[in-house]
Every structure is written in C-alpha cells, then in structure tokens.
C-alpha cells in the first residue's frame, strides 16, 4: 500500500489579504507578504465551494479539464507520483489516482476547495494515496514528484515567473498545463473573454482576475529545463500541453 505523499507547503500569509473586513481568512499569518497571486482568489473559490455544498451540488470536470485529463491518461499515470498545483476540489487528481497514480499531492489557495478535495478522495477510495494542503504554488517549498500538473492555474497569476520557477524543478518526468491561448484567433477571443469576465466579477464585488500569458514563453521555459512537448491541443480558447523529459 502506498503511503500518502507529503509536500512541504507554506501557508498563504494573512497579511496579504485585501478582502473587506468581516470576511473570514482561513490562512495562518506569516511575516513574508510577497504575494505572486491575489489572495482574494482563494476567498472567491472558498465561496464557490461552500455554495456547492449548501445546495448539495458536486463539482465535475469541465471540457478543458477533461481534455487535459485525457492527455494525462494517455501518458500513463500508473505508479507516477503527482503534484497538482491549484487542484481545486480535486476531481482531476482523484481520476489520476483511480487510474493508478500515486502517491499524489494537491495544493490550492482555497481552504474550502481543499476540504472538498479530501472528501472526494475519500469517496473514491484513494485517500490513503492523497495529501492536500492550502498553499500558493508560487511560494510553497515543493517536494519533487514524477508529474506536475496545473489545470487553469497560471491564468490566476498576473506574472507567471515565480510560479514557473517554483514548479518546474518539482517535475521529474512530466509537466502538464492548461492556459488561455495567446496566439491567433483563439488568443484574441481569450483576451476578450478575460476582460469581460474581469469586469463582470469586479462589478459583482467578486474579484477573481484572470490573465492571458504568452504560451510560447511558458513552453520556452520548459524546454530550457530539458522538457519536450509530447502533446499539444486546444479546447476552444484554451491551450493544453504535456511536456516530458526526453520526449
């Protein structure tokens, strides 16, 4: 029986919070206040997770996540240790564990989503091979895993340098991600969609900004670290890629 993988993680510093007074902060305070990602995003997904529980809803993978999962299943997850940054409610990670991956670690900014992920892993019968924690993937000290996965995570960061610098060295064999496309007509529509969504969320008082980053630059960083693309695809305005060492 596999033992649960344990990643060393750093809590999101409460001193970075910009939420209005009265909003509970589930994170432990810390002296370091350099926040590569807006901590309000964690609060936003806390609310979404808690709303699902209130109405008895269950999170299911969307089109983009299903496409990324299919590419990962084709890569052969059996016996691979997996680290998913921004794992959310843990649906993708649970499916990889069911397919034979593990041990696996999921981290996310949302404490409520992490609790949901733990429950999902338990219901799927894979909890003994899973470990979850609240943390920022750009700042947390990460232990190395065979695979590192970021499903619609980079778009939450205004700059991705810190996230890439922290996460790429944690991948021994494979690095997979889904991001808004930044090229051609897909990139144009992605930028329009992000602008509309950002404006709508701001008007609703639910700040959860999204960003379109240069896909070519992300992939150049991976290639400089010794990875080569084994899969590239699109799902509407999203770019999905799997990079492997020696591929």
Domain 60-245 CATH (choose: 3.40.50.1220, 3.40.50.150, 1.10.1500.10, 3.30.70.20):
3.40.50.150
| pLDDT higher than 60, residue 26 | no
- The span from the CA of 193 to the CA of 146, in Å, is 34
pLDDT in tens, 75-123: 999 999 999 999 999 999 999 999 999 999 999 999 999 999 999 999 9
Strands (E), 27-121: 82-85, 104-108
| pLDDT higher than 60, residue 245 | yes
Domain-by-domain residue ranges, the chain?
A: 60-245
| pLDDT higher than 70, residue 20 | no
pLDDT score of 247: 61
What mean pLDDT value characterizes the chain? 87
Question: Vertex 49, ends 237 and 150: CA angle to 5°?
Answer: 40
- The span from the CA of 180 to the CA of 239, in Å, is 6
């Amino acid at each position: 029986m596999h033992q649960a993988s344990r990643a060393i993680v750093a809590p999101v510093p409460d001193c970075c919070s910009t939420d209005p007074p009265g909003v509970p902060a589930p994170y432990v305070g810390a002296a370091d206040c350099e926040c590569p990602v807006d901590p309000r995003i964690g609060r936003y997904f806390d609310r979404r997770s808690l709303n699902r529980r209130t109405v008895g809803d269950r999170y299911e993978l969307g089109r983009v996540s299903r496409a990324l999962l299919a590419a990962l299943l084709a890569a052969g997850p059996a016996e691979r240790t997996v680290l998913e940054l921004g794992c959310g409610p843990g649906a993708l990670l649970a499916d990889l564990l069911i397919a034979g991956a593990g041990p696996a670690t999921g981290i996310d900014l949302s404490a409520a989503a992490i609790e949901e992920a733990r429950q999902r892993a338990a219901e799927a019968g894979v909890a003994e091979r899973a470990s979850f924690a609240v943390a920022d993937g750009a700042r947390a000290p990460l232990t190395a895993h065979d695979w590192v996965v970021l499903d619609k995570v980079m778009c939450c960061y205004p700059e991705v340098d810190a996230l890439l610098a922290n996460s790429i060295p944690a991948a021994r064999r494979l690095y997979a991600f889904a991001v808004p496309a930044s090229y051609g007509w897909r990139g144009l529509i992605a930028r329009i969609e992000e602008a509309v969504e950002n404006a709508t969320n701001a008007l609703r008082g639910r700040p959860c900004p999204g960003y379109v980053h240069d896909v070519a630059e992300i992939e150049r960083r991976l290639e400089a670290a010794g990875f080569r693309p084994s899969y590239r695809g699109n799902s509407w305005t999203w770019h999905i890629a799997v990079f492997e060492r020696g591929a």
